[in-house]
Chain A
Amino acid sequence: EGQLVESGGGLVQPGGSLRLSCAASGFTFSNCAMSWVRQAPGRGLEWVSAISGSGLITYYADSVKGRFTISRDNFNSMLYLQMNSLRAEDAALYYCARGYSGSWYDAFDIWGQGAMVTVSS
């Protein structure tokens, strides 16, 4: 069916940087658009960024544009999110998710377990 496993979360000071990773297995990773979706404690889901299967096309939420960079390594089936200039409002559980049936974000059918990012001094 497929599996996603995030890593790289942690505590970072405001203005700091963090890189999240997502290891994919069980499906043809390079065929799939992938997204990062976050969820602040007690809040709803918020889409953050997406990348095409080839890695050539990327999209970002306005709230992270210019600070976050999504990338992928199709050879190793890895997805990344480089987060710079972190703010308190970026604190959340970050999920990687697969676009369903070749779509970008018509639906997300596979989710990781999440990586927690805490931004605090």
Chain B
Amino acid sequence: EIVLTQSPGTLSLSPGERATLSCRASQSVSSSSLAWYQQKPGQAPRLLIYGASNRATGIPDRFSGSGSGTDFTLTINRLEPEDFAVYSCQRLRTFGQGTKVEIK
């Protein structure tokens, strides 16, 4: 079973800064099945990125995904107030434990 490990657990940043979130797989995975989600308190997850680097419908271009093999990254350029949330990566049936992006 492939395990997804996200780091850091918590990222403290100010609006306008760049956030870089990591998702590491325990073995090499296909990029086509790597997705990222945003989740705010009391809300369902929202698909941000699919296929490691493709933005889902309606997702602002400040969100970008990259990576291959075992290392994947979600980058959020110029953090907006509404971007402070928990971000999770997913590969098929497996989710990472999440990274919380909080206001510094």
Contacts and interface: CB of A to CB of B under 8 A. Distances in A.
Given A105-B92, A106-B51, A107-B50, A45 B33 contact: no
Contacts of A47: 93-95
B101 interface: no
A112 B44 contact: yes
Given A44-B98, A45-B88, A47-B95, A108 B45 contact: yes
Contacts of B35: 100, 106-108
A113 B94 contact: no
A68 B94 CA distance: 19
Interface in A94-121: 95, 100, 104-109, 111-114
A65 to B, nearest CB: 13
B27 interface: no
Interface of B: 32-33, 35, 37, 44-47, 50-51, 56-57, 88, 90, 92-98
Interface of A: 1, 44-47, 50, 59, 61, 95, 100, 104-109, 111-114
